[in-house]
Copies of this chain bind each other. A is one copy, B any other.
Amino acid sequence: MNQTIDTILNHRSIRKFKPEPLKQEHLALILDAARSSSTSSYLMAYTMIGVTDPEKKSALASISNQSYIKDNGHFVLFCGDYHRHMLKADEKEKETLAYNVQSTEYFMIATVDATIAAQNMTLAAESLGIGACYIGSIKRDLDLVNDLFQLPEHVVPLFGLALGYPDEQQEIKPKLPKEAVYFENTYKDDEAHMAALDQFDQTIETYYRTRSTNQREDSWTKQMIKTLHNRRNDRLTPFVKEKKFNNR
């Protein structure tokens, strides 16, 4: 074991932060960590927007209906980005590039690149004692996010990251066991997989029944059926296409 693995295994989302901004040296380190990420074909197809303007933070908090998007040490919006790849192309090249990057493949690549950067930032932050929480719910009003940050074509917001010095203690949330997420040589939809899910359901029932706050009766599979039943974001698909991603 070592500090890196300790940091990874001790991850828990933090949603309550002390009312102080990240120290400048901490911000510099976590930005360097994000920039050091692996990238597909050297594309680095992502952009980060640090949000310090209180009005913009309030607007994001309203979209997400989560106060910790406003009350934190720093907030970073992660976007997929092919805009800068075209800045120095001539008009004819631009036309070809603008067409090519609209494939599902390039949408995947931008999402992967942005996520690797975000996870590097998260772990670097956590290693410095900073808490972090991924924020998917900024996608509830993509048009407003787009306007707030004046995102050009070929730039699409993916998720945010709320950061800050923790002002709460959180338990580590149990994760699916190895038998449910890791197979050798072939996808195995067998009894061992089902038994692993059964056992995890029991773990989660106990976890929800006994955790220190927000106790409830639920299992993982029940929760998933509800989540996937209810969640909808009808604006996301057309929005992504309007931003010139995922069109072909």
**Interface positions of A (Cβ within 8 A of B):** 1-5, 7-9, 11, 13, 29, 31-44, 46-53, 56, 82-85, 87-89, 93, 96-97, 100-101, 103-106, 108-109, 111-112, 115-120, 122-124, 126-128, 134, 136, 139, 148-152, 155, 158-159, 172-173, 175-178, 180-187, 189, 193-194, 197, 220-221, 223-225, 227-229, 231-233, 236-237, 240, 246, 248
For A35, the chain B residues whose CB sits under 8 A away are 175-178, 181-182
CA distance A139 to B103 in the complex (A): 14
Which residue of B has the minimal Cβ distance to A196?
B84
Contact in complex: A97, B225 (CB < 8 Å): yes
Determine whether the beta carbon of B112 is less than 8 Å from that of A186: no
Are B134 and A104 interface neighbours, CB within 8 A?
Answer: no
Chain copies in the assembly?
Answer: 2
Chain B residues with CB below 8 A from A87, complex form: 189, 193-194, 197, 221
Which of the residues B4, B46, B124, B126 comes within 8 Å of A127, measured between beta carbons? B4
Q: Hey, which chain B residues are within 8 Å of A232, CB to CB? A: 100, 103
Contacts of A37 in B (CB 8 A): 11, 119, 175
By a CB distance below 8 angstroms, the chain B residues around A29 are 1, 5
Q: Which residues of B contact A177 (CB under 8 A)?
A: 35
Are B158 and A93 neighbours in the complex by a CB distance under 8 Å? no
Contact A84 B185 (CB under 8 A): no
A52 touches B184 (CB 8 A): yes
Given A85-B221, A112-B159, A116-B119, verify A183-B237 contact (CB < 8 Å): no
Contact A123 B122 (CB under 8 A): no
Residues in chain B near residue A186, CB distance under 8 A: 49, 148-150
Q: How far is the CA of A38 from the CA of B172 in the complex (A)?
A: 11
Given contacts A103-B237, A187-B151, contact A227 B41 (CB under 8 A): yes
In the bound complex, do residue B173 and residue A88 qualify as a contact, i.e. CB atoms below 8 Å apart?
Answer: no
Residues in B whose Cβ lies below 8 Å from that of A193: 84, 87
Whether B248 contacts A237 by the Cβ 8 Å rule is: yes
For A172, the chain B residues whose CB sits under 8 A away are 36
A149 with B104: CB separation less than 8 A? no
Of B9, B42, B50, B105, the residue contacting A173 (CB under 8 A) is B42
Do A50 and B182 touch (CB < 8 A)? yes
Q: Which residues of chain B come closer than 8 Å to A231, judged between CB atoms?
A: 41, 100, 105
